[in-house]
């Protein structure tokens, strides 16, 4: 594709800064709160989450049909509001990974991460040669639609700006956690507590010892490999306990859950006087 002429001002901007800053904060040990999106993929929601003070947005593309313009518009709105987007993909897929990266996400999260081989394949899709096999496409949301002035420098910084996110939620993922977590270039490990609780024989009971103990073992592995550990806590109180133990990021309630809880609370408050 031919390079397009851009203004000098546009050339001075670094489209990789959002992702690199996100990863820098993780390396510094900061706790990052992610607002989850499960259904209403609207640019206005990105602005609302930004105003709420979230550190990033997590989009679930495994369970919902997010694609095309609604996805790209949402990611652009989030980027314009300085909110990094981490998106789960439906499965290990080169084309889907590329589309998300070109749209401007900073992280790709692989559900049912169960082996180092899976992660190495994902990393190959996410990194440019010689580290990986990602195709060059500096003309979309990933560069804020301004072609980089320094191609070599941009390729290097782009590799540094993307986060590889493991998602452990099965018994096999737990069994192989040591090799998964220690995979070079893995940046974040998320343990999905609902499916993980099912795998551990305690469906929905995030805080049961048979669920919590293996999660703490994975957290210990993350500390050893200097990889950020994250989860979704059963309550803010439990979340603070996880933070005290070293948890660095949370994928919090979806917009659906926030609407349901807020609406139900308002109804209770108005009905309490009846």
- Tens digit of pLDDT at every position of the chain (274 positions): 445 444 444 445 799 999 999 999 999 999 999 999 999 999 999 999 999 999 999 999 988 877 778 999 999 999 999 999 999 999 999 999 999 999 999 999 999 999 999 999 999 999 999 999 999 988 899 999 988 889 999 999 999 999 999 999 999 999 999 999 999 999 999 999 999 999 999 999 999 999 999 999 999 999 999 999 999 999 999 999 999 999 999 999 999 999 999 999 999 999 986 6
- Distance, C-alpha 39 to centroid of its chain: 16
- CA-atom Rg of the chain in angstroms: 19
Query: What's residue 12's pLDDT?
Result: 59
Query: What's residue 1's pLDDT?
Result: 46
Q: Does the pTM of the predicted model rise above 0.75?
A: yes
**CATH superfamily entry for domain 8-271:** Phosphoenolpyruvate-binding domains (3.20.20.60)
Phi/psi for 180 (5° steps) reads: -70, -50
Query: What's residue 227's pLDDT?
Result: 98
What element of type H or E holds 59?
strand 56-60
Compute CA distances 152 → 2, 149, 226, whole Å. 16, 9, 28
Phi/psi for 159 (5° steps) reads: -60, -40
- Measured between alpha carbons, how far is 208 from 212 in angstroms, rounded to an integer? 6
Query: What's residue 262's pLDDT?
Result: 95
| Alpha helices per DSSP H over the chain | 8-12, 17-27, 43-52, 68-80, 94-103, 116-126, 151-161, 171-175, 177-181, 193-199, 209-225, 236-245, 255-271
Query: What's residue 82's pLDDT?
Result: 96
Give the chain's mean pLDDT. Answer: 93
- Measured between alpha carbons, how far is 163 from 19 in angstroms, rounded to an integer? 8
| Both structure tokens of 128 | 């440019």
Query: For residue 162, which of 81, 247, 104 has the smallest C-alpha distance?
Result: 104
Query: What's residue 8's pLDDT?
Result: 45
Query: What's residue 274's pLDDT?
Result: 60
Query: What's residue 11's pLDDT?
Result: 47
- Measured between alpha carbons, how far is 66 from 99 in angstroms, rounded to an integer? 12
pLDDT per position as a tens digit, 8-43? 444 457 999 999 999 999 999 999 999 999 999 999
With beta carbons less than 8 A apart as the criterion, state whether 101 and 127 touch. Answer: no
């Amino acid at each position: 594709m031919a390079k397009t002429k851009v203004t000098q001002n546009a050339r001075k901007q670094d489209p990789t800064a959002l992702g690199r800053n996100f990863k820098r904060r993780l390396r510094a040990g900061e706790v990052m709160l992610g607002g989850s999106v499960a259904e209403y993929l609207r640019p206005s929601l990105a602005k609302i989450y930004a105003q709420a003070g979230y550190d990033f947005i997590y989009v679930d593309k495994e369970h919902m049909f997010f694609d095309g313009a609604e996805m790209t518009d949402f990611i652009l709105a989030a980027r314009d509001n300085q909110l990094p987007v981490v998106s789960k993909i439906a499965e290990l897929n080169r084309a889907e990974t590329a589309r998300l990266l070109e749209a401007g996400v900073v992280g790709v999260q692989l559900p049912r991460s169960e082996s180092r081989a899976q992660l190495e394949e994902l990393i190959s899709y996410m990194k440019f040669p010689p580290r990986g096999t990602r195709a060059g496409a500096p003309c979309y949301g990933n560069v804020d639609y301004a072609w980089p002035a320094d191609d070599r420098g941009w390729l290097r910084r782009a590799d540094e700006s993307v986060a590889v996110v493991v998602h452990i939620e099965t018994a096999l993922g737990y069994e192989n956690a040591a090799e998964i977590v220690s995979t070079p270039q893995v940046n974040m490990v998320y343990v999905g507590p609902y499916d993980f609780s099912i795998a551990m024989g305690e469906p929905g009971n995030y805080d049961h010892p048979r669920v919590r103990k293996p999660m703490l073992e994975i957290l210990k592995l993350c500390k050893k490999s200097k990889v950020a550990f994250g989860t979704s806590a059963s309550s803010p109180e439990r979340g603070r306990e996880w933070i005290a133990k070293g948890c660095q990021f949370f994928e919090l309630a979806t917009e659906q859950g926030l609407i349901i809880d807020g609406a139900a609370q308002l109804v209770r408050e108005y009905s309490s006087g009846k």
